[in-house]
Structure 1
Amino acid sequence: MSTKRKFVKAATPPNSDINVTPLVDVVLVLLIIFMVVTPLLEKDIEVRIPETEETPIEQMPQDNTQLIVKLDADGTYSINTEVVQKDEYVNKLRRMLTPKKKEDRIVFFVADDKANYGLLVAAFDGAKQAGAFVLGMATEDIPLAPAGAPVDPNAVPAPAPAPAP
């Protein structure tokens, strides 16, 4: 028995064009998925921005008990204009915060624009370790009273920021 193979010749020549219909279907499905998922990916960080108030500099209260941590561009910490080594920072801040009541443990931070962000976060963490109750970020350099300057008893103290929940 001999079987001969028979080949069927196509009535039309093979089509070499790309069928884009499945490609368009896949792209539209992906577009819909991304349109639905993208709003869910956005995460909000709550930031409380203090209300601004125009106060002349000469009328600002000079409080010697106020703690201001300054971070310079070269990475040096200073607490109320006194330069502090990084390894002494937490202990010195703890000694300064311990005698205060919990609500009065407020530390303000002033960072140079070119300061390392990681060092600023480390300063925040160190202040929390030292017992700070409220951390505040100043956008402008806060003028300090010269050492030994009298505090004006009639001056109205600046409002303290509300503690974060």
Structure 2
Amino acid sequence: MARAHRAKRRPMSEINVVPYIDVMLVLLVIFMVTAPLLYQGVDVDLPQADAEPLSQDEQDPIIVTVNRDGDLMVSIGTDPDEPVSADEVTDLVSRVMRNNPGTPVLVRGDEQVRYGLVLDTMAMLQRAGVPQVGLMTRPPSDDG
């Protein structure tokens, strides 16, 4: 005598899409907030020095960055702003130097990092087969 209760079937035109719109709006806000964070570079305060700028007719240099925490980043590879180990830097640079020995290599060290760490990085690059390693600086400010 008891009948099984059957749920009423709604026609396809009555699907409630409000929850989907809410999810899409939340995802849109998340992407809008995180997208600018993905394109920021490594923050390095270069020391000031009176130096000649490199000529623009040379090929693009390999830039090895030492940030204030002592992390190493290299401008070649998958993500130039991702810290890598010293072994990975040595491997990447030595491969480039074997294929293109004239590639300039520069060290971009934060002015707050220990001087010895920059020297260790330069020595590591020379062991990787780099004949000359340059240092990046920023021009001195005019306010003296």
TM-score, normalised on structure 2?
0.49
Specify which structure has the bigger relative contact order, considering alpha-carbon pairs within 8 angstroms and separated by 6 or more residues: 2
